[in-house]
A and B are shown apart, each in its own frame.
Chain A
Amino acid sequence: MTEEEIENQHETGQSEQSSEPKKPRIGVFICHCGHNIADTVAVEKVTEFAKTLPNVEHAEHYMFMCSKPGIELIKKAIKEKNLDRTVVASCSKTQHGPTFAHAIEEEGLNRHMHQQVNIREWCSWPHIKDKAGATEKAEQMLEAGVNRSRKLEPVETRQIATTPAALVIGAGIAGLRAASDLAALGVKTYVVEKEPTIGGHMTQLNKTFPTQECPQCSISPLTNGVANDKNITLLTMAQVKAVEGSFGNFKVEVEITPRYVKDNCTSCGDCSAHCPVEVPSEWDSGMSMRKAIYKPFPQAIPATYVRDKKACIECHACENVCPAHAVDFSQKRETRKVEVGTIILAVGYDEYDPTEISAYHYHQDGYEDIITQLELERMLVAGSITNSALLRPSDGKVPRRVTMIQCVGSRNEQVGNKYCTGVCCMFAIKNAQIVKDNYPDTDVAICYIDIRTPGLNNEEFYKKAQEKGIKFIRGRPGEIQRDPITGQLLVIVEDTLSQTPLKIKSDLVVLSAAMVPPRSIGTLGSALHVLRDKTGFVKEFHIKMNPVKSSKDGIFLAGAIQGPKDIPQSVAQAGAAASLAAAPLVRGYIEKEMLVPQIDYDLCVNCGLCISACSPAAIYRNEAENKIMINEISCKACGLCGPACPTGAIQLKNFRDDEISDEIAALAVAPREGGHVHD
C-alpha cells in the first residue's frame, strides 16, 4: 500500500482487508557499528534471541545498518516478509532514527512504525569492560524495543496552509525593524501599537552610545518607512485583547481606542494652542506639560493629533478651531479581527520605578532633584523643557555636582530585581560624558558595584569617561539624605576600594533604573499563552539555541521583552524574528506530525487538570459540549497530560501507559545466567 493509502485507512478507520485486527509483523535489525557494538555485544546471539520473540518475522545483523547496503537489507526484508514495522538496534534515536524512519517510509510504511533501540551509547560504550553483562542487557533492551513496537500506530503528517500575513505587537525599534523586514519579504504585516505614536523608548532618548548619535535621526527612516509601506497596516492606540487558533492560523482580536481626530488632520496644532487643559506629558517622562488634545512630540508618527478623553473638559474649543474639521468627538472604541499566520511580540520594557526604594526618596516632596536617567534624557534632548540645559528641577540652577547611582532596581535581593540590566553602565557613562562635555565645571560621579561595558568600542567609551574626569566610586549608596536646613542632598556610600565612608554632596542625583517587563505583559502574555519567567520577561524557547522563539509555536520574540538588551541586540533579534516568522508564510504551509493524545470519554471526568498541565495550551474545554478537546496543531507531544489525568483517560499516541509498561516489563527483570529473561 502507498503511504497515502495507509493514511487514508487510518483516518477513515476502515480496512480493505478483513475487520480482524492484524497481527504485527516486526523486522529486527541489529547493527555491529563496526567494532563499536560488536566488540562488546555478541550481536549474533542477540539476533538469535530476537527470532524467539513473538511477532518477530525477521531478524538479522549487519556491519553498518545505516549504510546504503544496510538500508537495502531493511527494504528487502520489508518487501519479502511483508513487515509492517521495524526495530533497529544500533545507535541513538537522534543520530539515525530519522535515517531508518525515512527508509521505511520509502517502502510505504508510516515513519512512526520504526522503533530505535540504542545499544551503542546506552550499552556497548558504557559497558566496554563487561561483555557478558552488555550482551544480556542488549537482549533485554531489544525485547523492550520489540514490546514497544507491537502496539505502535501510524501517525500522519499534515500540511496545514498558513494565513499569509503576520502580526507585530509593539512598534518600538524592535517591532519596527521586524515589520520592515517582513514587508521587504512581501509579507502582509499588521503592526499594533498601544501608544498614539511609534518608535517607543528609543525616540525618548537624547543620544545613543557609544557614538552619541541622535536616535530620532537614526530611527526616522524606519518610522517613516513603516508608516508608508504598502505591505504594512499600522494600527496605533491599539491593543491585542484575545488570540485564538494556533501556529499558521491565528485569529487576533485588536481593540482600538479612538483618537477623536480624523486622518485628514494636517498637524497644524491649532487645537492644542486653544486647549485650556494642561496635564503632565507621559512621553516627556513628566518633565513638561501637554494639552488634553496633543501630539506627543513634534516628529511623532502618525502625525495625527489625539484627544485624551480623561483630561478633556469637553469645551469643544479644538473642534471649533480646527481648519480641517478633523476633530470628531463621536468616534467610538473599535474592535478589529485580524487573521495572521505568525506573531512577533516586541512590546519592549518599562523603566523601573524607584519609588519602592524609600531610602532614595524618589518623587518625594523636598527631593525634586532626584531623577532617573530617562528623565535626564528628556531634559537634555534638543527642544526640551529646559532647552537642553541641565538644570535642577527644584530651583532651575545648573548643578555643580551630579551623582549617578547604578543598579537601581537591578542586582538587588531585597527590592527590585536580582538580574543585571546590562545596559545601564553604558547609558550612565554616556550621560555622564554629555554632562561633563557641556558643563566642564560640574563634577560628575558614578556610584557603581561593577562597571560592565562588554563589546567592541564600549571599554574604550568607559576609558574616555575616566579621562574626562568623571569619578567612579565603587559602592552601592545606602541612602540619600537631605540636610534639613540647607536642603543639600547627600549620597551616603562606602567607597569599597579605599574602604572610606563618604557623604557625597550632590546638587542632582540621577538613578540608573533597571529595565523591567512592561506592565501590559501580564494580560497580553496570558492572551498569547506565552510563558514568562520569574522576572516577568517572556521566556524564550531555548536560552542558548533559540532565543527568538517563544514557548508557543508561531509566536516569536524581538527586543527587550525577551530580556533587557540594547538597541543593536534588539535590532538583530528583530531581524531573526522576521525571518522565522516569514518562513512558514512564504512557504505557504507548516508541517505537523499528528502525534497527539487521545481521550477516552468513558473515563474522562472533565476535571481539566490536563489543560493546566499542557505547556503549549493545546488542550481546551469545548464550552458548548462541555467536553475536553485537543488542538492537534498546538500539541507538542510532551505527554505531560497523561500522568495528570486521574483516570488515565488521556493517553499520548504511541506513548500510552500500556505501551511504556510493556517496554518496562522487559527491562525491569533481572537477567538470568546463560539465557534470555522470559521463558
Chain B
Amino acid sequence: MNTAGVARMGYDTAIKIVPLQCSGQANPQLIMDALKDGADAVGVIGCCIGACHFVNGNMLSMHRIKLMKQLFKELGYSDQQINHYTARAAEGETAVGDFEDIMARLKRAEHDGTTLPEGW
C-alpha cells in the first residue's frame, strides 16, 4: 500500500485500510463488524503464500474466509463481498490490482442483487 502511494497509483477513495500485524490476525469477527458497520466489501491482504513472516498466518486467514464465503452463500448472499488476497510489498500494483478486484466483484454482486443488507 505504501509503494502504491509513493508511486501515486490511483484508486477509489472508498477503499479504507486497517493495518494489522499479520493477515493471520484478521478475525472473522472483525470482518463481520466491518460489514455490519456499513462496509460493502472486505478484503484481507497478506503476504504471498510461502512468504508469511510468521510462517502460515496468511493460510489461517484464507481458511477462515473460505468458511465465511460458504456461510454467505447458504444465506442466499454473494460470496464475493469478502476475499483474501496476497500482495507483494515491493509492487504497489499488486495491492491496487487487489483493490480493483474487490470493487469489480462488489459491483457484480450489486448488479445481481445479492449483497448483504445495510446494517442489521
State the CA gap A137–B13 with chains docked (Å). 7
Residues of B contacting A642 in the complex (Cβ-Cβ under 8 angstroms) = 25, 27
Stretch from B15-23, B73-81, B101-109 at the A interface: B15-23
Residues of B contacting A657 in the complex (Cβ-Cβ under 8 angstroms) = 27, 29-30
A122 and B17 form a contact (CB under 8 A): yes
B18 and A660 form a contact (CB under 8 A): yes
B37 and A126 form a contact (CB under 8 A): no
A126 and B8 form a contact (CB under 8 A): yes
Residues of B contacting A655 in the complex (Cβ-Cβ under 8 angstroms) = 20-21, 25
Using known A-B contacts A140-B16, A638-B24, determine if residue A670 contacts B38 with beta carbons closer than 8 Å. Answer: yes
* A589 adjacent to chain B (CB < 8 Å): no
Residues of B contacting A551 in the complex (Cβ-Cβ under 8 angstroms) = 55
State the CA gap A543–B47 with chains docked (Å). 13
B10 and A664 form a contact (CB under 8 A): no
Chain A positions within 8 Å of B, measured between CB atoms, are: 92-94, 118, 120-122, 125-130, 133-134, 136-137, 140-141, 144, 531, 533, 542-543, 551, 613, 615-616, 636-640, 642-644, 648, 652, 655, 657, 660-661, 663-665, 667-670
Nearest Cβ on chain B to A466's Cβ, whole angstroms: 38
B28 and A643 form a contact (CB under 8 A): yes
Interface residue count on the B side (C-beta < 8 Å): 40
A137 and B60 form a contact (CB under 8 A): no
Nearest Cβ on chain B to A642's Cβ, whole angstroms: 6
A668 and B9 form a contact (CB under 8 A): no
Using known A-B contacts A640-B25, A660-B30, determine if residue A125 contacts B20 with beta carbons closer than 8 Å. Answer: no
Residues of A contacting B2 in the complex (Cβ-Cβ under 8 angstroms) = 92, 94, 118, 121-122
B24 and A639 form a contact (CB under 8 A): yes
Nearest Cβ on chain A to B73's Cβ, whole angstroms: 21
Within the complex, which residue of A136, A660, A668 is in contact with B39, where a contact is CB–CB below 8 Å? A668
State the CA gap A133–B35 with chains docked (Å). 21
State the CA gap A559–B61 with chains docked (Å). 34
Residues of A contacting B57 in the complex (Cβ-Cβ under 8 angstroms) = 615, 638, 640
State the CA gap A81–B19 with chains docked (Å). 29
State the CA gap A92–B2 with chains docked (Å). 7
Using known A-B contacts A615-B57, A664-B33, determine if residue A126 contacts B16 with beta carbons closer than 8 Å. Answer: no
State the CA gap A655–B57 with chains docked (Å). 16
Task: Give A614's nearest chain B residue, CB to CB.
Answer: B54
Within the complex, which residue of B9, B21, B29, B34 is in contact with A638, where a contact is CB–CB below 8 Å? B21
State the CA gap A469–B24 with chains docked (Å). 57
B30 and A664 form a contact (CB under 8 A): yes
State the CA gap A122–B4 with chains docked (Å). 8
Using known A-B contacts A640-B57, A652-B21, determine if residue A130 contacts B33 with beta carbons closer than 8 Å. Answer: no
- B residues 49-80 near A (Cβ < 8 Å) are 50-51, 53-57, 60-61, 64
A638 and B54 form a contact (CB under 8 A): yes
B33 and A667 form a contact (CB under 8 A): no
State the CA gap A126–B12 with chains docked (Å). 8
Residues of A contacting B17 in the complex (Cβ-Cβ under 8 angstroms) = 122
Task: Give A138's nearest chain B residue, CB to CB.
Answer: B13
Chain B positions within 8 Å of A, measured between CB atoms, are: 1-2, 4-6, 8-11, 13, 16-22, 24-30, 33-35, 37-39, 50-51, 53-57, 60-61, 64
Nearest Cβ on chain A to B32's Cβ, whole angstroms: 10
State the CA gap A118–B3 with chains docked (Å). 13
B38 and A141 form a contact (CB under 8 A): no
Name which of A531, A551, A615 has the most chain B CB atoms within 10 A of its CB: A615
Task: Give A128's nearest chain B residue, CB to CB.
Answer: B8
Q: Is the interface of B mostly helix, strand, loop or mixed?
A: loop
State the CA gap A615–B29 with chains docked (Å). 22
State the CA gap A421–B33 with chains docked (Å). 49
Residues of B contacting A661 in the complex (Cβ-Cβ under 8 angstroms) = 29-30, 33
Nearest Cβ on chain A to B12's Cβ, whole angstroms: 8
Residues of A contacting B56 in the complex (Cβ-Cβ under 8 angstroms) = 615
Residues of A contacting B60 in the complex (Cβ-Cβ under 8 angstroms) = 613, 640, 643-644
Using known A-B contacts A94-B2, A122-B1, A670-B38, determine if residue A660 contacts B24 with beta carbons closer than 8 Å. Answer: no
A643 and B16 form a contact (CB under 8 A): no
Residues of B contacting A542 in the complex (Cβ-Cβ under 8 angstroms) = 53
Write 26 A-B pairs (CB below 8 A) sorted by A numbering.
Answer: A118-B2, A122-B1, A126-B8, A126-B10, A128-B10, A137-B16, A144-B18, A613-B60, A637-B21, A638-B21, A638-B24, A638-B25, A639-B20, A639-B21, A639-B24, A643-B28, A643-B61, A652-B21, A652-B25, A655-B20, A664-B30, A664-B39, A665-B37, A667-B34, A668-B16, A668-B34
Within the complex, which residue of B11, B25, B54 is in contact with A643, where a contact is CB–CB below 8 Å? B25
B34 and A664 form a contact (CB under 8 A): yes
State the CA gap A93–B5 with chains docked (Å). 14
Residues of B contacting A640 in the complex (Cβ-Cβ under 8 angstroms) = 22, 24-25, 54, 57, 60
State the CA gap A288–B44 with chains docked (Å). 60
Residues of A contacting B30 in the complex (Cβ-Cβ under 8 angstroms) = 657, 660-661, 664
A-B pairs with the 6 shortest C-beta distances?
A121-B5, A639-B25, A133-B13, A668-B37, A667-B16, A668-B39
Using known A-B contacts A638-B54, A657-B30, A661-B33, determine if residue A127 contacts B20 with beta carbons closer than 8 Å. Answer: no
State the CA gap A660–B32 with chains docked (Å). 12
Nearest Cβ on chain A to B68's Cβ, whole angstroms: 12
* Apart from A615-B55, A660-B18, A664-B34: 12 A-B pairs, beta carbons within 8 A: A121-B5, A122-B2, A126-B11, A531-B55, A615-B54, A615-B57, A639-B24, A643-B25, A655-B21, A664-B18, A668-B16, A669-B37
